Amino acid sequence: MAANRVVLILGAGPRVGASVAEKFASNGYKVAVASRSGTGAKAANGFLSIKADFAKPDSIPGVFDAVKAEFNTSPSVVIYNAASLTPPPDKDSIFSIPVESVTSDLNINTISPYVAAQQAVSGWETLPKETKKTFIYTGNILNVGVIPVPLMLDLGMGKSASAYWLGLADTTYSARGYRFFYADERQKDGKSKGAELDGAAHADFFAQLADHEGNVPWHATFAKDKGYVQFK
């Protein structure tokens, strides 16, 4: 195992983010987690806690600077786990959502992860060639299907846009050994998991993706206890 491997998790919620952090720590990674409640210091578990506002894409480079300052290396694995949506004031009209809210949610769902990917690639160029480099975005089924609920507007817009640039990034950078994944947990019949995401299933699958195991494509649909499944 390469020494001093670092994972940066942007959006460290209590379910997926926390499970993924613990999994990577158990696999020997140094862990940095960025969230709105970040403290700027190491927590009792040894994780570096960084305060971040994903609605402000220009704040993302500072997160990477903090990781490099603490661990003296760039993260080889970057996981974007933040997401946002705004309920429409008129629950039956997508066009009742204020433009300012749509913009803020797109920053969180699409622009900030894009900036994070820029920073990741810049850092990867400084790492040893044999180190596996991986960017993982926590997605959902909204990039391939329209759920006819106005509440899903901002989330669906952001996930769909991000899926496109992630696929293009993986296609154009995979020859360098840089992998980009849109990870989407499904039920075993291929239906959406909705809000019933399984933290441990994400942790196991993300660890597999970070090791570049199984020839998984960029559109990485998976199910608990099965790993990658190519759903139609």
Q: Per the residue annotation, which of 159, 191, 224, 226 is the catalytic one?
A: 159
Amino acid at 204: D
- pTM for the full model? 0.96
Q: How far apart are CA 31 and CA 203, in angstroms?
A: 13
**Residue-by-residue pLDDT tens, the chain, 232 positions:** 455 899 999 998 888 999 999 999 999 999 999 998 877 778 768 899 999 999 999 999 999 999 999 999 999 999 999 999 999 999 999 999 999 999 999 999 999 999 999 999 999 999 999 999 999 999 999 999 999 999 999 999 999 999 999 999 999 999 999 999 999 999 999 999 988 999 999 999 999 999 999 999 999 999 999 999 999 7
Amino acid at 71: F
Answer yes or no: 159 catalytic: yes
Report the domain count for the chain: 1
The answer to whether position 56 is within a domain reads yes
Number of H helices, E strands in the chain: 6, 8
For residue 182, the cross-strand partners are 137, 219
The answer to whether position 1 is within a domain reads no
Enclosing domain of residue 137? 6-228
CATH number of the domain enclosing 196: 3.40.50.720
